[in-house]
Amino acid sequence: MENIEMNSNAPAAAKEEPKKVIFSGVQPSGLLTIGNYLGAIKNWTTLQDAYDCLYCVVNLHAITVRQIPADLRRRTYETLAIYIACGLDPDKNTLFVQSHVPAHAELGWLLDCYTMFGELSRMTQFKDKSAKNADNVNAGLFTYPTLMAADILLYQADLVPVGQDQQQHIEICRDIAGRFNGIYGNTFKIPEGFMPKTGTKIMSLADPTKKMSKSDSNENGYVAILDPRDVIIRKFKRAVTDSDTVVRYAEGKDGVNNLMNIYSCFTGKTHEEIEREFDGRGYGDFKMAVGEVVADGLTPVQARFNELMKDKAYLEEIMRRGAENAQRRARRTLSKVYRKVGFVEI
């Protein structure tokens, strides 16, 4: 065999940096809206090549509000199908259902014991949901943030894509992780909230001072991802604006500002470009144009969704594959946590 002289001065091969981990999820508790699409799912698709992404259908969180079991099962399939239809590649992302990974509930309980009552009582979402569901203010609703913290910390997530209204949940997650690390040493990575530049908060079409919600009792307030074209256009025609007639982005023009944000997200145009495009044209033209670009943008998503819903076996295979990967990763963290607190594992 020929002897090959090694050059000890040759530079070592550059070690590839591991990708940062991203975790997020959506509840299967209602019809997903363009608020979910623009504020979360559409932005996720831009991250899947550069990051190690886990996206979950968070059905454990969904039952803090009473659900019809058959509807919850159907919407679990639908939410996963929407993820894929919106462009999330199951080969590039870990897509799974929360209840398929028991470690979420296990770590959720453990973190309950490291979360202060006062911290949870100050959470805005608990106050809001308690007011809306006065006949069902359950313990799960109160400890919702610790389960969300468990979702994130199980996977040692670096970043969590969130809207503005979710920032408080990231803060308490960081507090819980920091408290645990302070007691037991470095265990959890401290996550950062990640807010995309556009589309972070889409407002109701009926009341633009409130966030668009899939649980809105006024169906004209939201546009569902799966709404038919004529319904989408009709809802935008009825969108609340103001007594002015000029399409411009300005303080006090909440309805027009919201429509401009939506139009910008679907077209990529800036507010200045939109103002020039509709200079001299009234709100009627503008609202029609917004409805049409939204309908056009959702057409391929709806077509792909319908294909996927005809193949439940494929969706279940994605669920199984995602759960296996997520469970393997989650158990590593949970096992470390159990050793730290003194649990005996067999």
One of 211, 235, 253, 287 is an active-site residue; which one? 211
211 flagged as catalytic: yes
Given this model, what pLDDT does residue 200 score? 61
Given this model, what pLDDT does residue 5 score? 38
User: CATH classification of 21-195+312-341 is 3.40.50.620, yes or no?
Assistant: yes
237 flagged as catalytic: no
Going from the C-alpha of 168 to that of each of 50, 115, 158, 200, the distances in angstroms are 26, 14, 17, 15
Cα distance between residue 159 and residue 147, in whole Å: 17
Given this model, what pLDDT does residue 95 score? 98
Given this model, what pLDDT does residue 201 score? 82
Quick check: do 21-195+312-341 and 219-309 share a fold?
A: no
Q: Are 76 and 58 in contact (CB under 8 A)?
A: no
pLDDT averaged over 10-residue windows placed end to end, the chain, 346 residues: 40 69 91 88 89 96 92 96 96 98 98 95 81 81 94 96 79 96 97 72 92 86 95 96 90 94 93 93 94 97 97 98 98 97 92
Given this model, what pLDDT does residue 2 score? 36
Given this model, what pLDDT does residue 8 score? 42
Cα distance between residue 65 and residue 325, in whole Å: 29
DSSP letters, 51-107, are: SEEEEEE-HHHHTTS---HHHHHHHHHHHHHHHHHTT--TTTEEEEEGGG-THHHHH
One of 15, 197, 214, 253 is an active-site residue; which one? 214
Residues sharing a CB contact under 8 Å with residue 230, sequence separation 6 or more, in sequence order: none
One of 129, 235, 253, 287 is an active-site residue; which one? 129
Q: Are 78 and 309 in contact (CB under 8 A)?
A: yes
Backbone angles phi, psi at 187, to 5 degrees: -125, -50
Tell me which residue has tokens 């000890």: 8
Domain boundaries, the chain: 21-195+312-341, 219-309
Given this model, what pLDDT does residue 31 score? 81
Provide the residue count of the chain.
Answer: 346
132 flagged as catalytic: no
Q: What is the pLDDT of residues 257-290, one digit of tens each?
A: 999 999 999 999 999 999 999 998 989 999 999 9
Given this model, what pLDDT does residue 323 score? 98
Cα distance between residue 71 and residue 60, in whole Å: 14
Task: Provide the CATH topology of domain 219-309.
Answer: Tyrosyl-Transfer RNA Synthetase (1.10.240)
